[in-house]
Amino acid sequence: MSVLQRLSIDEHLFDVMASGVPDDEVTAFVVKASYGINVMLLRKIAGHPNASAAFADLAEMYARDAAAVREILRYPAVGAWARAAVGLAGGPDSPAAPDALHAVAVAAAIRTGTDHRARLRARCGLVMIPSVGMARVEGDWCTAVVRGSRCEIAGVPVPSDPSMDGRAWWGLRRIRPFPGGLCLLVDDLDPYRFPEQAGGRLDPQAAAAWTGTIGRAWTILARDHSGHAAETRHIMTVLTPLAARRNATSRTAFGALAAGPPASPLHLAETLVHETQHAKLAVLLDLVELVRDDAHRLYRTRWRSDPRPLGGLLQGAYAHLGVAGFWRRRFEVTGCASARVRAQRVASAVAETAGVLQASGALTALGHRFVGGVAAAAAEIRWVTAGQDRSHTRCAGPTPSTAPTGCPCRHAR
């Protein structure tokens, strides 16, 4: 039995994942694996005396409505908090203290309509109910009570639609489902929504602007990029707005797209593909070692001006493989000359970066196999789009950077 089989990912699926091509089986595996990782972390947290009762309550609610509880347990901020709690080095007043599992149980009770009572710790006068909203309370502790479809926190009723704001309550707003099934929760409250530079609470105008732009971006994906649309729909569940115009995903918060104000719907469509690639690879890296990273060896790439360690190169190559595929498809659909140029340029950068990884001496055997798949897919995109300029029209969209690439640029000290 191979290493891949022992990790419950067969070799064919591993190779398909390396190709970067959207695939229903890869998507299902990634979603299932990310959920399994979260459950494993929560089981470890459940061994703490301040969390065991909450875990038992979650188990009972799971028996009642498994789908609703799974949605809570795979919530990006819950996964990020669970990782912090497992590695907790501070005392019980840390935001990552295990007793925060009671807030997760309250969220599950609200979603399943289960009668439930829990004592919750407040931090700076605030209590976060993951995936639901935030309450302002008095004191360091409060009681949350759920009865059917109603919830009170510290005696203050949560609105019947928890996504609405109320007295001492801020709800997490949902961007309503678009044609094709995309549905995103806007998390601009949870302290674990993104590890750095998360934006503040969106005002109604900014929230409406995001809804409109995401709707137009989704129309592009659903109409012209059905494969990418399908995997994005299943993997990306949360939008975390950033203050700066940048995009990111966090390895600790699977399923969350962190993004600044988008330049255009087409740019956001590309971003959704790019960040979904990052999310898929993040799950695989939790299961399989592909590169033995060395933070002292830094390299440049075409898509960033700052030098990156090998792990960053691998993430960037895989994400940009998805971007190259996006522009290849744009060319196939529109015949646009600049889409072909972008596909060629990005695929060339991916191929160069794959070569740097292969020559680094730091890839594991599985890493060589994976990066070999990435390089082959990039070469195929270059071959398919080479010399196929069907139009002299131009299309709007981002242009990859032309920063130098190649050998290690320096050794950090």
pLDDT attached to residue 407: 33
- pLDDT-derived band at 178 (thresholds 50, 70, 90) equals confident
Least confident span in 32-46, 77-91, 164-178, 245-259: 77-91
From residue 318, how far is each of 68, 103, 314 by CA, in Å? 32, 36, 6
Spatial separation of the C-alpha atoms in residues 355 and 70, rounded to whole Å: 40
Q: What is the pLDDT of residues 42-54, one digit of tens each?
A: 999 999 999 999 9
pLDDT attached to residue 223: 93
Whether pLDDT at 404 is above 90: no
| Torsion angles phi and psi, residue 30, rounded to 5 | -65, -45
pLDDT attached to residue 93: 53
Residue 291 and residue 357 in contact, taking contact as beta carbons nearer than 8 Å: yes
Residue 121 and residue 100 in contact, taking contact as beta carbons nearer than 8 Å: yes
pLDDT attached to residue 181: 75
- pLDDT-derived band at 119 (thresholds 50, 70, 90) equals very high
* Mean pLDDT score, 231-259: 87
Q: For a pLDDT cut of 70, what percent of the chain falls above it?
A: 88
Q: What is the pLDDT of residues 127-145, one digit of tens each?
A: 999 999 999 999 999 999 9
- pLDDT-derived band at 398 (thresholds 50, 70, 90) equals very low
Whether pLDDT at 4 is above 50: no
Q: What is the pLDDT of residues 21-46, one digit of tens each?
A: 999 999 999 999 999 999 999 999 99
- pLDDT-derived band at 262 (thresholds 50, 70, 90) equals confident
Furthest-apart CA pair in the chain: how many Å? Answer: 68
281-285: long-range contacts, CB 8 A cutoff, minimum separation 24? 281/314, 281/315, 281/318, 281/319, 282/249, 282/251, 282/254, 282/315, 283/30, 283/33, 283/34, 283/37, 283/254, 284/9, 284/17, 284/30, 285/251
Whether pLDDT at 271 is above 90: yes
- pLDDT-derived band at 394 (thresholds 50, 70, 90) equals very low
From residue 381, how far is each of 13, 249, 327, 404 by CA, in Å? 20, 25, 10, 22
Looking at 120-160, list the stretches that DSSP marks H as alpha helix, in order from N- to C-terminal side.
none
Spatial separation of the C-alpha atoms in residues 341 and 347, rounded to whole Å: 10
Domain residue ranges in the chain: 172-287, 289-413
Spatial separation of the C-alpha atoms in residues 304 and 17, rounded to whole Å: 24
What is the rounded (10 degree) CA torsion for 255, 286, 41, 127?
-40
From residue 230, how far is each of 73, 76, 137, 226, 235 by CA, in Å? 22, 19, 41, 6, 9
| Torsion angles phi and psi, residue 188, rounded to 5 | -120, 25
pLDDT attached to residue 1: 33
What SS3 state is found at 133? strand
pLDDT attached to residue 388: 56
Spatial separation of the C-alpha atoms in residues 8 and 13, rounded to whole Å: 10
Note the Cα 388 to chain centre separation in Å: 34
* Average pLDDT score over the chain: 87
Spatial separation of the C-alpha atoms in residues 29 and 67, rounded to whole Å: 17
Spatial separation of the C-alpha atoms in residues 37 and 7, rounded to whole Å: 12
Q: For a pLDDT cut of 90, what percent of the chain falls above it?
A: 67
Whether pLDDT at 400 is above 60: no
- pLDDT-derived band at 256 (thresholds 50, 70, 90) equals very high
Residues in CB range of 366: below 8 A, 6 or more apart:
3, 4, 14, 288, 289, 290
Whether pLDDT at 408 is above 50: no
- pLDDT-derived band at 69 (thresholds 50, 70, 90) equals very high
From residue 192, how far is each of 42, 231, 369 by CA, in Å? 16, 24, 34
Least confident span in 2-11, 106-115, 378-387: 2-11
